[in-house]
Amino acid sequence: MTYNKSTTIAIIGAGASGTACFLQLVLKHIVRKPANHLRLIIFEKRTKFGEGLAFGTGQEGHLLNTKAGLMGIFPHERMHFVQWMHENQDLIARKHPQVSVHPDAFPPRMLFGEYVQDMFATHRQLAEQHGIKVDLVSSEVVDGKVGRDNKITLITDNDESFQADYSILATGNPASNSFTKLLKQPNFFPSPWPSSRLLKHIKNKKARVSIVGSSLTAIDALITLIDNGHEGPISFFSLKGLLPRVQSPVEIPYQRRILTLANVRKSIREKAKPLRLTDLIRMFRQEAESHLEKKLNWVAEEREHRDQLALLEEDIALATGKQCLLQNILYSLREETYPIWRLLPVDQKLLFLKWIKPYFDINRHAMPIENAIKIQKVLQSGQLKIIGNTDDIVWKAGRFILTTDDGTSNEADYVVNASGPTVVVEEMIDQPLLPKLLKRGYIEQHPAGGICADLESLRVCHAKRKSPSPYYVIGHQLAGLQLDINALWFNVEQADILTDDLLKNIS
């Protein structure tokens, strides 16, 4: 086929989000047969295309935190990963013999990474068969200038430059922005990734290791160490000292009657006022109490300053027995979280992030039971301690001193920062592209984190720029606007919206 025009789309980052966009661009271009020739350039700074940070961990013990039946890489085909596992039973029997291919299972994340890489490779071939040119560039994009003609020039870390008509920012999770004063210390790890770095440097299996944070990422760091024979004391050192709750092996459907999108919209309409966070908290409490047909003692539900082992044991019992109602309510909100989040004004979003998110996260991003049992064991044996109410760490005389609010000091030979990725663009020091784009005025920081974009198209927007941006964005950089960016199924559906809009420009 001969074309009059050619369009180049660059995808920056080939993790799950970038790959989901790639698959959609290829499939839609083939199906819609537009008049333009398509060239795709995909940039990835890791060695492999298609696995990304979460699914390229290299550790069998790092499990999906989401059941397999939600993990399809194609929009609205959530079972596709499970189907792929069924079709690849030989590979699973050979490489991951313990893995269940059930939709409710939580397989290793590296197996999911193999699936995404497989889809990447298959669709690369398909693209070439249909005349779509696909160039893979194994470099980091460090700058992206926009010319007067609105075309982009992308510059890589080895000083190569590439022209594109559009570019998708799919750069994923940056490192944490906390404890930057410790970056120069050789025994400080700014992030638990890659796991191989922890294992390479912490050679002394009896060393004292402090992991900053106590969320799913901290649990991954712990599992990296104990699965590889670490015997020394480990502590989770965090502001709140809260562990994620435990997911039931089978998700229990819950029919919400009060905290629904319809009721949220009704409340805005009847009060003729914007939604407030307190409206949502009230509805959540009413939802739980109406289900239980009694008032709940909400103070007794608080989990800070309590014995985390006792709480974990209660949570394991709930997950395998009579279930946790509060968790079931939040899991049942999966499809409505984002539309409700969009209705919250910015000041209320900020209140949520400051006061509610840690409690929302431990319930909504709970750990699989397999991990809960591992943590129970190391808490029981005393190898793991959870220390809350602290963010004070200094390096002194060859070891770290970690001090809690009450003045108690703890020592560690190594500190691993697992306190979660920053959402402040200027502080994304390990992703120099984004601060650069901010400085050039191409992107704008959203007050609740990440950058501003039009949510109907995922096209980057900037209050001061008139011409439509040639940049699109997906994933972590939309943390403030979308909240749910930690869920693959969500990002995959966003890839559908993004690629629909992008391809409209060239049809």
How many residues belong to the site for ligand FAD (CB under 6 A)? 34
Least distance from ligand FAD to the Cβ atom of residue 495, Å: 10
Least distance from ligand FAD to the Cβ atom of residue 274, Å: 30
Least distance from ligand FAD to the Cβ atom of residue 434, Å: 8
140 binds ligand FAD (CB under 6 A): yes
423 binds ligand FAD (CB under 6 A): no
Least distance from ligand FAD to the Cβ atom of residue 387, Å: 22
Q: Rounded distance, CA 154 to CA 163, Å? A: 6
The radius of gyration of the chain from alpha carbons, rounded to an integer in Å, stands at 23
**Cβ neighbour number for residue 331 with a 10 Å cutoff:** 18
3-state secondary structure of 6: strand
52 binds ligand FAD (CB under 6 A): yes
- Taking CB under 6 A as the criterion, the residue among 26, 29, 43, 209 binding ligand FAD is 43
DSSP string of 24-51? Answer: HHHHHHHHH--SSEEEEEEE-SSSSSS-
217 binds ligand FAD (CB under 6 A): yes
- Give whichever of 410 and 491 is closer to ligand FAD, judged by the CB atom: 491
Alpha helices in 336-385, H assignment, sequence order = 337-343, 346-351, 357-364, 369-381
Per-residue burial over 144-161, b if 16 or more Cβ lie within 10 Å, else e, is: bebeeeeebebbbeeeee
- Taking CB under 6 A as the criterion, the residue among 66, 187, 235, 469 binding ligand FAD is 66
17 binds ligand FAD (CB under 6 A): yes
488 binds ligand FAD (CB under 6 A): yes
467-486: which residues touch ligand FAD (CB under 6 A)?
A: 475-476, 486
487 binds ligand FAD (CB under 6 A): yes
- Give whichever of 332 and 482 is closer to ligand FAD, judged by the CB atom: 482
C-alpha closest to that of 26 among 12, 13, 42: 42
Residue 50 structure tokens = 């298609």
163-202: which residues touch ligand FAD (CB under 6 A)?
A: 170-173
**Cβ neighbour number for residue 305 with a 10 Å cutoff:** 10
215 binds ligand FAD (CB under 6 A): no
103 binds ligand FAD (CB under 6 A): no
Cβ contacts of 343 within 8 Å, gap of 6 or more = 264, 265, 268, 275
Least distance from ligand FAD to the Cβ atom of residue 169, Å: 8
**What is the rounded (10 degree) CA torsion for 403, 404, 406, 409?**
-40
Q: Rounded distance, CA 299 to CA 303, Å? A: 9
Cβ contacts of 284 within 8 Å, gap of 6 or more = 259, 329
**Cβ neighbour number for residue 183 with a 10 Å cutoff:** 12
Least distance from ligand FAD to the Cβ atom of residue 149, Å: 23
Least distance from ligand FAD to the Cβ atom of residue 486, Å: 5
- Taking CB under 6 A as the criterion, the residue among 9, 10, 54, 222 binding ligand FAD is 54
24 binds ligand FAD (CB under 6 A): no
Least distance from ligand FAD to the Cβ atom of residue 409, Å: 30
- Residues in contact with ligand FAD by the rule CB under 6 A: 12-18, 43-46, 52-54, 64-66, 109, 140-141, 170-173, 217, 220, 431, 433, 475-476, 486-488, 491
